[in-house]
Structure 1
């Protein structure tokens, strides 16, 4: 909690001195500890590294050694695995068995305080989305083979779903995995595109087609990547988040042991969709902080910038623009907090059903809010906000990153539609469950 005045919109209410029902002492200690760590090891150089388009390898190693990649996993954390690996707490602040999704939310929010998704994404995206399928659905042998090195950051992984012709339309993935006649290997052929962290990853949790068309033909495999025969990778130049290592992967007769199958054949679509919930919620948290960073920067600017003989903040039209976006970012954060709290209170199987569609909507809405706030900030900065250097550099960069929130993880229009369809489906299922069985006289 701040003890001195802070710039309007620069911090969530619980850090601006306002009461909140969500945060316990453990959460507040956690926020303080990780802000200090992230400020020292990421925040100070994030813009410089993003401009260079690559975060130095030593940064990943620093985060891995401190256990500061683990909080990007879905809560609750894999306590038994972590303790086996000698990890009992994170930064000496919170025990792994006490870590809940509010700790996760604080972590994602603090990692996004740079205002940029690329630097933090270069560190966390792989473990955050690539490891959970192995944790949730992999058999004991698969977990024993891969988790020790992945959880400790000795090896890197990624999630490889999207293809050149199949983005949000996951059911139409065409990368094939065909068993060899002796049944000992899958031969994988196809391409994956827009794979974050792929270029640095030894492994990937990959969606492949092991059966016929449609969702029932999909499976997931742990596919080796970096330096593996038949795998060719190159970085893609994207409009924003360049330092996150967006990658194009070509797979030409890649031989993968059948033991690398995650779960069972044909269940891949369920695994993928379950995994998306964590991805979309963390995107929503980070994007809301990015919107906050942009708006706070604009607020600082209008307080000191003068035009027509007075500070910009004295212009009613400027205040109106700022107020509209401030209301949006605070409303979005309130939704995120409420959403995360609900996740800590509901059993996971209930949360997946009740909150799945809403997760998609929260992710989509976060992109809309970021777009409005980043555009507002750029307009208030004027020419400085359109310049890739100087005092408006960060705002210019944030605005370029907006499509990277609105498209990946499920594009905005698809997410909004998915959210409503899921809510309607839940309503119909509950209505059907309440119907009186035929032939029954009971009310």
Structure 2
């Protein structure tokens, strides 16, 4: 519990001294260690680095050396691989085999404490979403070739799914991977767009079309990027999160060994959709912290800013705005906590079915909450909230980042629809399973 009063809405309840059923001693120790490391190596300079649009390469190296990119992977961690590589603990306080999704949530929350998604995203997006397909579906030779360098941050990677003509519509990916006549290589042609971290990545887990149209023709392949023949990349200027290195990739007769195939041909859609669950959950956690930073900064401002002879907090309309957003924020965080706890209790196969649609819904709702909280902050800061420097600089920056939460990982409208369709599908399957076959008696 904090020894001094904290600004309302600035911390989740468990860090504000209120009881919680979710956090064990291992989680609380991890939070303190995370806070100290991330504050020193990222948060102190996050706004400055985001302003110049790129983090120094040394920051990635510091995180990699400390093993502080590994917590961005889905829980449980790849314990056998990490121990082979000499990684037994994280920050000296947490054994890798004890890491669960609550530790993931704490890590993601602390990484977003600056209120900006770009600085943390520039470090973690590649390993968080690019490595899991290799871990989950790659065969032994593929893992042996790539995991040692990726898990120890000697090389950087990314996930390369979206294209100019296929964003959330993954089934319409057009980038082709055609086998050479001798069957030893794929020749890859096409483009990838909005690829976070791509500009720095030596490798990518890429969605390609190895078969006919539709989802059944998709596969995933490890494709070399930076400096590789036939690959050209350029950074894209996006509205927010610019320091995360959003990239446009062109692939012109890029030749890769067939051994770079992840899993089996034609299974790409399944691998991609499974991977989306972790991506959407971590986006939801980060967006909820961004909402908290925006709302708390507005609260701090209205407590001291005077207008019409009294502090803004004395104005009922101001309190009303804060109350509405505060209720949305704390409800969203309570849902995220509940959701993550469920992840620690359910078998992976069950969680994928039961929580898949809800993951999409949690991510979509997190973007909606962020939009409300960021807009509230900008309005309460007034002119300062519309200015790129000064007291409202952070609120203005967060508001610009809102679309970067509502679109990537599956755009909001697509996810809202997906969530309900998945819930209905589960309901119908369970109903069908309960039906008694004709001619059989329940007795």
* TM-score bucket (shorter structure): over 0.9
Determine if the alignment matches structure 1 residue 3 to structure 2 residue 3: yes
**What are the Cα deviations for residues 17-74 of structure 1, in whole angstroms up to 9, with x where unaligned?**
0000000000000000010000000000000000000011000000000000000000
1:297 is aligned to 297
SS at match of 1:38: helix
CA distance in structure 2 between the partners assigned to 1:278 and 1:4 by the alignment: 36
How far off its partner does 1:428 sit?
0.2
Alignment of 1:199-348 (within 5 A): 199-348=199-348
1:140 is aligned to 140
1:87 is aligned to 87
CA distance in structure 1 between the partners assigned to 2:128 and 2:279 by the alignment: 8
1:172 is aligned to 172
Q: How many residues align?
A: 443
CA distance in structure 1 between the partners assigned to 2:416 and 2:5 by the alignment: 38
CA distance in structure 1 between the partners assigned to 2:423 and 2:205 by the alignment: 29
1:163 is aligned to 163
2:374 is aligned to 374
1:96 is aligned to 96
**What are the Cα deviations for residues 313-372 of structure 1, in whole angstroms up to 9, with x where unaligned?**
000000000000000000000000000000000000000000000000000000000000
1:440 is aligned to 440
How far off its partner does 1:437 sit?
1.1
CA RMSD of aligned residues (A): 0.4
CA distance in structure 2 between the partners assigned to 1:265 and 1:132 by the alignment: 17
CA distance in structure 1 between the partners assigned to 2:308 and 2:435 by the alignment: 69
CA distance in structure 2 between the partners assigned to 1:365 and 1:216 by the alignment: 30
**What are the Cα deviations for residues 220-266 of structure 1, in whole angstroms up to 9, with x where unaligned?**
00000000000000000000000000000000000010000000000
CA distance in structure 2 between the partners assigned to 1:4 and 1:30 by the alignment: 22
SS at match of 1:51: helix
Structure 1, unmatched stretches of 5+, are none
2:69 is aligned to 69
CA distance in structure 1 between the partners assigned to 2:245 and 2:400 by the alignment: 16
CA distance in structure 2 between the partners assigned to 1:280 and 1:346 by the alignment: 18
How far off its partner does 1:124 sit?
0.1
How far off its partner does 1:3 sit?
1.9
CA distance in structure 2 between the partners assigned to 1:295 and 1:18 by the alignment: 20
1:356 is aligned to 356
CA distance in structure 1 between the partners assigned to 2:166 and 2:2 by the alignment: 46
**What are the Cα deviations for residues 287-311 of structure 1, in whole angstroms up to 9, with x where unaligned?**
0000000000000000000000000
1:38 is aligned to 38
2:365 is aligned to 365
CA distance in structure 2 between the partners assigned to 1:235 and 1:8 by the alignment: 39
2:110 is aligned to 110
How far off its partner does 1:441 sit?
2.0
Determine if the alignment matches structure 1 residue 383 to structure 2 residue 383: yes
SS at match of 1:181: coil
CA distance in structure 2 between the partners assigned to 1:344 and 1:4 by the alignment: 33
How far off its partner does 1:442 sit?
2.4
How far off its partner does 1:4 sit?
1.4
**What are the Cα deviations for residues 146-188 of structure 1, in whole angstroms up to 9, with x where unaligned?**
0000000000000000000000000000000000000000000
1:128 is aligned to 128
SS at match of 1:391: coil
CA distance in structure 1 between the partners assigned to 2:441 and 2:315 by the alignment: 70
SS at match of 2:113: helix
SS at match of 2:240: coil
SS at match of 2:391: helix
2:423 is aligned to 423
CA distance in structure 2 between the partners assigned to 1:222 and 1:359 by the alignment: 26
What TM-score do the two structures reach when normalised by structure 2? 1.00
2:20 is aligned to 20
